[in-house]
């Protein structure tokens, strides 16, 4: 609908029109080619893939050969965690992660635990941050891998990756970070941060769903074993025919993000501030989760007091798209594990909405969305309190 306002940019970002324009020629019959073929069409596709790889690498300060294309961050995270723990070169059998990680990291860690690895899932503070001193203390001579996400997909909190990586390197431990939400939104320099392995996702970066990458540092002490076997594509880490149009899309999105990361951050931060101001005029009974912590510029995680989040989402349909949980947690009706990890009560967790502002949002639509959400929340709260009094 023309009046529909999309504020769920953590679940996915719309494809930037410039990205769409870059990828469309590679879907045309005259341009199609398997990038692993030797003929002219194949070589043309391969050149486009390699140019895209270079753009993705440039965004994060990597070398092109350190970028392995995947179907998205879930595959990249699995390749990182399972791959390292399958390697005969790993130094131990212990994995460290934390309670606010994306489900694909937590579920992969749980699988590895069932497969014989020792896994410790550290709590986070009410701030949403990992206690770095406690993490450092938890590293032992048996620790092979630490995986801590760069920025959370729900509460938006940015972890102290530089400090964590330094502790890992001091003890000879591989450090992996899921940076799907961070890349393109905040500056990420894999060399400066000391990252060994890093996952990213195209559809969090204004490219289409279906493409991502794993950065594998040339300096990492352990190379991951592949999860799939076949033709040995992607330096043997990820066999399978690449989709040139998706690789080109990720490359184009990376190039745009490299040039516009700062302006995007300023834009989304301004949208966030204005949204919160208008919302509080309409509905003052709202608070920001982890408000004092460093966070993504386009993120808000909001508790609407005495208002059920599911009911509020329904009340603003089809006009405003916001979410109560991570979209990739399919079929889950209960509040997110991340909200419980920061210590929210059942009621507060069930009253939390995730708002994600993006490059393509405008100030006018953000103001309309905030006013509509605030009015709906006020009506629901008044009705709930009226029902309690009547009872």
Residues noted as catalytic: 328
E strands, the chain, are 5-6, 67-70, 94-98, 118-122, 143-147, 174-178, 197-201, 212-216, 286-288, 299-304, 320-321, 352-356
| φ, ψ for residue 333, nearest 5 deg | -100, -25
3-class DSSP assignment, residue 391: coil
Query: Is residue 57 within 8 Å of residue 108, measured between CB atoms?
Result: no
* Cα–Cα distance, 178 to 201 (Å, whole number): 9
* Cα–Cα distance, 67 to 212 (Å, whole number): 10
Nearest residue to 95 (alpha-carbon basis) of 83, 81, 107: 81
Tokens of 49: 């893939």
CA distances from 369 to 15, 70, 281 (A): 21, 35, 13
């Amino acid at each position: 609908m023309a009046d529909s306002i999309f504020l769920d940019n953590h679940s996915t970002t719309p494809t930037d029109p410039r990205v769409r324009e870059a990828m469309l020629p590679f879907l045309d019959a005259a341009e199609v080619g398997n990038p692993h073929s030797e003929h002219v069409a194949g070589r043309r596709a391969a050149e486009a893939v390699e140019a895209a790889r270079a753009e993705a690498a440039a965004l994060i300060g990597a070398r092109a050969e350190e970028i392995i294309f995947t179907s998205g961050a879930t595959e990249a995270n699995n390749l990182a965690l399972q791959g390292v723990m399958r390697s005969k070169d790993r130094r131990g059998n212990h994995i460290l992660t934390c309670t606010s990680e994306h489900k694909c990291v937590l579920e992969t860690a749980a699988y590895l635990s069932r497969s014989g690895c020792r896994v410790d899932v550290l709590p986070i503070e009410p701030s949403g941050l990992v206690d770095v001193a406690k993490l450092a203390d938890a590293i032992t001579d048996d620790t092979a891998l630490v995986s801590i996400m760069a920025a959370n997909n729900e509460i938006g909190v940015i972890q102290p990756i530089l400090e964590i990586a330094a502790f890992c390197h001091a003890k000879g431990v591989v450090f992996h970070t899921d940076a799907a939400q961070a890349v393109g939104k905040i500056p990420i320099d894999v060399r400066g941060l000391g990252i060994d392995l890093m996952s990213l996702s195209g559809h969090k970066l204004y490219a289409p769903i279906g493409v991502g990458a794993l950065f594998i540092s040339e300096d990492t002490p352990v190379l991951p074993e592949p999860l799939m076997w076949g033709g040995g594509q992607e330096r043997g880490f990820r066999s399978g025919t690449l989709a040139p149009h998706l690789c080109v899309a990720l490359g184009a999105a990376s190039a745009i993000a490299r040039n516009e990361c700062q302006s995007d951050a300023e834009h989304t931060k301004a949208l966030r501030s204005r949204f919160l101001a208008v919302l509080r005029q309409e509905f003052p009974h709202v608070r920001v989760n982890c408000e004092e912590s460093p966070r993504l510029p386009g993120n808000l995680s909001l508790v609407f007091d005495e208002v059920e989040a599911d009911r509020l989402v329904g009340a603003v349909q089809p006009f405003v798209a916001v979410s109560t949980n991570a979209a990739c947690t399919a079929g889950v009706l209960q509040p997110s594990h991340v909200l419980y990890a920061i210590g929210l009560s059942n009621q507060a967790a069930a009253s939390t909405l995730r708002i994600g502002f993006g490059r393509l949002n405008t100030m006018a639509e953000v103001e309309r969305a905030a006013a509509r959400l605030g009015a709906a929340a006020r009506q629901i709260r008044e009705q709930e309190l009226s029902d309690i009094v009547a009872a």
